[in-house]
Structure 1
Amino acid sequence: MVYPNGKMNEKKVFKDPVHKYVHVDDQVIWDLIGTAEFQRLRRVKQLGTTFFTFHGAEHSRFNHSLGVYEIIRRMIDNVFDGRPAWNTEDRLLCLCAALLHDVGHGPFSHSFEKVFHLDHEHFTQRIILGDTEINQVLREVDREFPKKVAEVIAKTSDNKLAISMISSQIDADRMDYLLRDAYFTGVTYGNFDMERILRVMRPHGDQVVIKYSGMHAVEHYIMSRYQMYWQVYFHPVTRSAEVILTKILHRAKALHKQYYSFRHQPVHFYSLFEDEVTIEDYLKLDENIMYYYFQVWQEEEDAILSDLCRRFVNRNLFKYVDFTEKYHGLNNWMELSSLCKKAGIDPDYYLVVDSTSDLPYDFYRAGEEEERLPIMLLMPNGELRELSRESSIVEAITGKKRMDQKLFYPYDTLYEDGRKGKVKEKIISILEGKG
C-alpha cells in the first residue's frame, strides 16, 4: 500500500492497562502492527520466567512494543512538536523504530540468546532489512526507510536524537517496561511519574534533556529502576527457573551433537544446534513451540533432559544459597563437584552458579569500553549539567555496580525419600555452610 498523506481515515486505539490508550493514526504504524513478524511478539513473554515468581507477569513483547511506541508518540506530538530543535520529518522514523525495537526477540529472550549465542538486536535488523512483511511495509514509505529504521535501533544512525529517545538512560523503552512490569507483577517499586518526566523533556541537539524543574521526578525514576532490578528482575526464584531453562537447552543441544535418538525430534531447533539460523527458522520460534518440546521431552529416555523438563513444566525449581567465599576455592569447588558425581548428580546440570549485576546510573568515563550517555539537566540559565552533579541522591549510586551470586542445586534430590546417605549428607553440610 502506498501512503499518499500517511494518515488513516479514522484513528485506531488500543486499550492499555498502563497508558490507558495507545493511539494510532499513521497508516504505516497500523500496517506494521498487522504484520506476521510483529504479531509473533504476542507469543513471546516480556519477562521470560518471571511468571514463576510473580504469577501475573504473563504480558508480552507485543504489549511492551505498543507501549514504547505510545510514549514516543506522546513525546513528539505533545512536547516536541513545534520546538526549534525538533525536525518534524523525523517523526515517522522515531515511531517506527520505537514500535519495532524488540521485534527480533526470541522465546525466553536472554536465556535463549545465551545458549545459542544469538543477539536479538541483530535479528531485529535482519527482520527489518530482510524479505519480510515488515520490510515491505517500510519500503512503501521510502526504499531507504527500512535501513534508516534499522540504524536507529542499532544505534549507528547519524540521528543521535532519535537514538536517545529510544535507547538511553532515560528513554521510552525503560519507562514503559518499568511501569508495565510493575503493573503485571503487582509491585509498586517500578512506579514513577512518567507524565511529569514527559512534560519536562526537551530535544536539545543530539539528545533528549530534562528541565531542571523535573529533576526530582528523574530521581524517582532512577530509584524505581534500581528497586525493580533487585526486587523483580533478579529475583532468585526467577533465576532458578532460568537456570533450568538454560540447562534444558544445553542438554538438548549436547544430545543432538551425540546423535541421540529423540523420541520427539527437535525439528525447530536443528538450525540452532548447528549454528545456521535463518530468518525463516528464527521467526517460527516462540514460547508456545518451546513449551511443546518441554512437555514432550519429559518422556525422553535421557534422564537429565526428562528431569529438567519435568522441573520446568511443573515448577519444581532448584534451591539456592549465596555463593560466598567458602565455595570460591578450587579445592572446595572440586570437592563439591566430586561428591555430586558420587551421588549420581551431574554437576554440569545440577550445580550451577549464576551471577547478576546492575549499574543503576553512570555517565561516560574516558577509557571505558561502554559509553553511557548521561542524563543532562537543562538549567534555568540554559546551561546543561550532568544529573549526578546536581542530585545528591543520584550521586550516591552513580558508578556503583551491585553484584549477586547464587549457587543453585536440586534440594529435593539430596533429600529424596528421607534417605540421604553419607555422600549426600556431606554435600548438604557444605551447602548449608557446615562442611
Structure 2
Amino acid sequence: MNKKKIFNDPVYGFVTIPTELLFDLIEHPYFQRLRRIKQLGLTDFVYPGALHTRFHHALGAMHLMALALRTLKDKGVKITAAEGEAALAAILLHDIGHGPLSHALETAIFQDVPHEQLSLYLMQRLNAQFGGRLALAIRIFQGEYERPFFHQLVSSQLDMDRLDYLNRDSFYTGVTEGQIGGDRLIKMLTVDPASERLALEEKAILSIESFLVSRRLMYWQVYLHKAVTSAEQMIIRLVSRARDLARAGRAVPANAALHFFLAKPITIDDFAQDENILQRFVQLDDFDIWSAVKCWATHDDLVLSYLSRSILDRHLLKIVLSPTPFDADFQLGIQELIADKFQLPPEEAALLCIAGRLSNNAYDAAKGETIDVLTKSGHILNVAEASDLPNIQALSKRVDKFYICYPKELREE
C-alpha cells in the first residue's frame, strides 16, 4: 500500500505525508477524531466560514514543520532522518488531546485537566501501540530532548503551531489582518550553534514585528471578539449547569461518554491512574455536545433550557465591555433584574449573569520564552532588544478588557 499520500490543502496547496509512520498516525482513530472538533469552537457564530477543524490545523502545522526542517538543513544544521520524523510526529500530535469545541469546555467538563497533558497521555499510548517509535517525538514534545530547537519548533512564541493557526484562521474567517508572511519567517529560521536554540536572522526583525501585530489583531478581532466571547461563555455555563444537575442526581440526557464526565469530577490524576477514562475521552467530540444541547433545550431546569435554546438559535447574551472591572453592586443589580424577569431564585438568576476578563498579550518575554535574533556579529538578542522599533515593546504589554453578559430581554424592556 502506498502510504505517501498527498492532501490538497486550501491554505498551502499540496501537503505530502513524508513517511509511513506519519500516515499510520493520521489514520489512527485518535487522530481521525480531530475531524469532528472545530478549530475555533463557536467562532463561526461571527465568521460563518470558520468551520475548519483540528485535523486541518494539525496537517498544516506538520507541513510547516517540514518546510522549517528543510530550511535548517539547507543552512547546514545536522538533522537525522529519525529526528526529522520525530519532530513531524510531535507537531502532528500536539493537539490530539483537545476536547469538544477546542478550548471552550476545558474547565466545564474537566477539573484542571489541560489538553497538553491529555495529548501527552495519548502520545504515550500511541507509542506503546507503535512499538516505541514515538519515544523521540515525546521527548521533543516535552522539551526533554538535548537539542532544544526541535521543541521550540513545536512550542514557543514563534512555533509552527502559531504560524499555521494564524494563517489558517485568517483564511477561513476572512480576517486578512492575520496573514503573517509565514514563508519568509520560516526562510529566516536558523539555529544558534552554541546553544542549539532556535533563532531568526537579523533581517527578519520587520517580519517578526508584523507577525506579532497580526497576532494581536487576530486576538481582538477573532479569538476575543465580543460575540464569540458571549457564545463561548454561554456554552461553558450551560454545560457547567448540566454537570451540576447531573452530580446533584437530576436526570440530564447525554450519551454514555459525555454523561460519564458530567456525572462525577475527573482530575488529571484520574486520567493517569485509569486508562479506561482516557478511552472514554477519545469518544468525545463536538457532535456529542450539540446533540446533548438539543436535548437540554426542553429540560425542566429553566437555566439549562434557556441557555440551550438560546445557543441553538444564536440568541446570544448581551455583552458589555469595560476597561475596568464591573463592581459587585452593578452585577447584583443585573441579577435581581434577571430573577424578576425569569422568576428565578437568586442563586439561579446569578447563573445568567456572567462576568470575566479578556487578556491580550502578543509577546510575553517575561516567562523566558523569547523570540531570539542571531545578529550578523554572531550575538543572540531578544527581538525586543534587537529592534529599534517601539511596536515590539508595546506589544509586550498585556491589555485587559472586562466583560459582563446577561439576557437581552433585560435590555429590550
TM-based fold match above 0.5? yes
Query: Does structure 1 conserve the Cα–Cα contact (< 8 Å) formed by 2:5 and 2:16?
Result: yes
Cα distance, 1:239 vs structure 2: 0.6
**Which has the larger Rg?**
1
2:235 corresponds to: 245
1:374 corresponds to: 370
Cα distance, 1:300 vs structure 2: 1.4
Cα distance, 1:231 vs structure 2: 0.9
2:274 corresponds to: none
1:69 corresponds to: 62
Change (3 A) 1:197 1:257: same
**Residues 306-351 of structure 1, C-alpha deviations (whole Å, 9 max, x = no match):** 11111111111111112465831x3343343334333335433211
Tell me which of 173, 178, 185 is aligned to 2:173.
185
Give yes or no for the alignment of 1:354 onto 2:356.
yes
Query: Does structure 2 conserve the Cα–Cα contact (< 8 Å) formed by 1:323 and 1:353?
Result: no
2:32 corresponds to: 39
Q: How does 1:241-280 map to 2 (within 5 A)?
A: 241-262=231-252, 264-273=253-262, 274-276=264-266, 278-280=277-279
Change (3 A) 1:324 1:383: closer
2:72 corresponds to: 80
Corresponding residue SS for 2:24? helix
Cα distance, 1:414 vs structure 2: 5.3
Matches of 1:155 and 1:83 in 2, distance apart?
A: 23
Give yes or no for the alignment of 1:210 onto 2:197.
no
Tell me which of 212, 218, 229 is aligned to 1:222.
212
**Residues 262-313 of structure 1, C-alpha deviations (whole Å, 9 max, x = no match):** 3x34532333231246111101100011111111211212222111111111
Q: Which amino acid aligns with 1:401?
A: R
Q: How does 1:327-406 map to 2 (within 5 A)?
A: 327-328=326-327, 330-343=328-341, 344=343, 346-364=348-366, 371-391=367-387, 392-406=389-403
Give yes or no for the alignment of 1:21 onto 2:8.
no
1:49 corresponds to: 42
Corresponding residue SS for 1:405? strand
Cα distance, 1:82 vs structure 2: 5.2
Query: Does structure 1 conserve the Cα–Cα contact (< 8 Å) formed by 2:325 and 2:402?
Result: no
Matches of 1:30 and 1:406 in 2, distance apart?
A: 44
Change (3 A) 1:24 1:56: same
1:124 corresponds to: 119
Change (3 A) 1:251 1:10: closer
Q: Which amino acid aligns with 1:307?
A: Y
Give yes or no for the alignment of 1:199 onto 2:192.
no
Cα distance, 1:55 vs structure 2: 0.4
Q: Which amino acid aligns with 1:185?
A: T
Cα distance, 1:399 vs structure 2: 2.9
Query: Does structure 2 conserve the Cα–Cα contact (< 8 Å) formed by 1:165 and 1:207?
Result: no
Cα distance, 1:19 vs structure 2: 1.1
Q: Which amino acid aligns with 1:53?
A: V
Corresponding residue SS for 2:227? helix
Corresponding residue SS for 1:192? coil
**Residues 97-151 of structure 1, C-alpha deviations (whole Å, 9 max, x = no match):** 0100000101112221121222111111111112x5x6423x2xxx2x4343233
Matches of 1:11 and 1:237 in 2, distance apart?
A: 42
Query: Does structure 1 conserve the Cα–Cα contact (< 8 Å) formed by 2:321 and 2:402?
Result: yes
Matches of 1:67 and 1:194 in 2, distance apart?
A: 12
Corresponding residue SS for 1:109? coil
2:283 corresponds to: 284
Change (3 A) 1:378 1:414: closer
Cα distance, 1:189 vs structure 2: 0.8
Q: Which amino acid aligns with 1:272?
A: F
Matches of 1:71 and 1:171 in 2, distance apart?
A: 9
Cα distance, 1:374 vs structure 2: 1.2
Q: Which amino acid aligns with 1:287?
A: D
Q: Which amino acid aligns with 1:410?
A: P
Cα distance, 1:241 vs structure 2: 0.6
Gap runs ≥5 in structure 2: 272-276
Aligned length: 393
- Taking only aligned residues, the RMSD between alpha carbons, in angstroms, comes to 2.1
2:407 corresponds to: 410
1:427 corresponds to: none
Cα distance, 1:245 vs structure 2: 0.1
Gap runs ≥5 in structure 1: 1-7, 365-370, 421-435
1:146 corresponds to: 134
Greater CA drift, 181-190 or 79-88? 79-88
**Residues 245-276 of structure 1, C-alpha deviations (whole Å, 9 max, x = no match):** 011111101111221123x3453233323124
Query: Does structure 1 conserve the Cα–Cα contact (< 8 Å) formed by 2:324 and 2:401?
Result: no
Cα distance, 1:11 vs structure 2: 3.7
Matches of 1:182 and 1:82 in 2, distance apart?
A: 30
